[in-house]
C-alpha cells in the first residue's frame, strides 16, 4: 500500500466536466480533459489572463491571487470529492493559480510569459522539497492547491531574479 493518494489519468474524463460549471472551471475550461500533459495545458490556459491581471494595481493583482487561491481550495476539494478521487490529473485550476503567482510583478511581454510558463512547469514537474512532501502528505482541496502554489512561489522567486537581471 502506498501513502500517495489515488490519482486518475486525465484520459478518464468524467462527463460532468461538460455539464457541471464547477467541474468545467476546475478542469481549466476543459483544458484538463486533453489526454497528454493536462497540467501543461492548464498552465497555457492561464496565460491569456495575465495581461488582464497586469492592468490591475499591485494590490488588485494580489487580491485576485488571494481570491482565486481561496476559491481554488474550495473548488478543487469539491470537484475531487464529487469525482471521488483525491487529485484527478484533469483538475488544473491549481496550475492556473500557480501560473498567476509566477507572473505577479513581472513585466509585460510575450518573452516574460514564456519564461514564466517554463519556470512554473519546471518547478511543478520537478517538485523540489518541500513541494514533493506537500504533494504526498497534504490532502483535500488545500493539498491540491498548495503544491502548485509553492511551485508558483518558487517560479516567482526565479522570475524576480530574471527581472532584476534583465529588465
Say if CB 147 and CB 4 are below 8 A apart. no
Angle between helix axes 93-102 and 140-166 (nearest 10 degrees) is: 30
Q: Are 116 and 103 in contact (CB under 8 A)?
A: yes
Neighbours of 19 (CB within 10 A): 9
pLDDT tens digits, one per residue of 78-130: 999 999 998 899 999 999 999 999 999 999 999 999 999 999 999 999 999 99
User: 45-86 pLDDT, tens per residue?
Assistant: 999 999 999 999 999 999 999 999 999 999 999 999 999 998
Residue ranges of domains in the chain: 15-166
Helix axes 93-102, 58-83, angle to 10 degrees: 160
Query: What was the pLDDT predicted at 96?
Result: 98
Q: Which three cell numbers stand for residue 16?
A: 460532468
pTM of the model as a whole = 0.92
Quick one: which of 135, 24, 122, 15 has its CA closest to 86? Answer: 135
pLDDT for residue 138 is more than 80: yes
> Helix, strand or coil for residue 116?
helix
Are the C-beta atoms of 82 and 16 separated by less than 8 Å? Answer: yes
d(CA 55, CA 60): 9
In this predicted structure, what is the pLDDT of residue 69? 98
Amino acid at each position: 500500500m502506498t501513502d500517495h493518494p489515488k490519482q486518475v489519468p486525465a484520459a478518464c474524463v468524467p462527463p460532468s466536466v461538460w455539464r457541471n460549471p464547477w467541474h468545467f472551471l476546475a478542469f481549466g475550461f476543459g483544458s484538463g480533459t486533453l489526454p497528454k500533459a493536462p497540467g501543461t495545458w492548464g498552465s497555457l490556459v492561464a496565460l491569456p489572463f495575465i495581461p488582464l491581471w497586469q492592468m490591475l494595481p499591485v494590490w488588485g493583482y494580489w487580491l485576485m491571487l488571494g481570491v482565486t487561491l481561496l476559491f481554488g481550495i474550495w473548488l478543487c476539494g469539491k470537484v475531487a470529492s464529487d469525482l471521488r478521487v483525491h487529485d484527478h490529473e484533469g483538475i488544473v485550476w491549481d496550475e492556473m493559480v500557480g501560473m498567476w503567482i509566477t507572473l505577479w510583478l513581472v513585466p509585460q511581454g510575450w518573452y516574460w510569459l514564456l519564461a514564466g510558463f517554463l519556470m512554473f512547469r519546471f518547478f511543478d514537474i520537478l517538485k523540489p522539497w518541500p513541494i514533493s512532501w506537500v504533494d504526498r502528505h497534504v490532502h483535500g482541496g488545500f493539498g491540491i492547491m498548495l503544491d502548485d502554489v509553492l511551485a508558483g512561489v518558487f517560479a516567482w522567486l526565479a522570475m524576480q531574479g530574471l527581472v532584476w537581471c534583465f529588465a
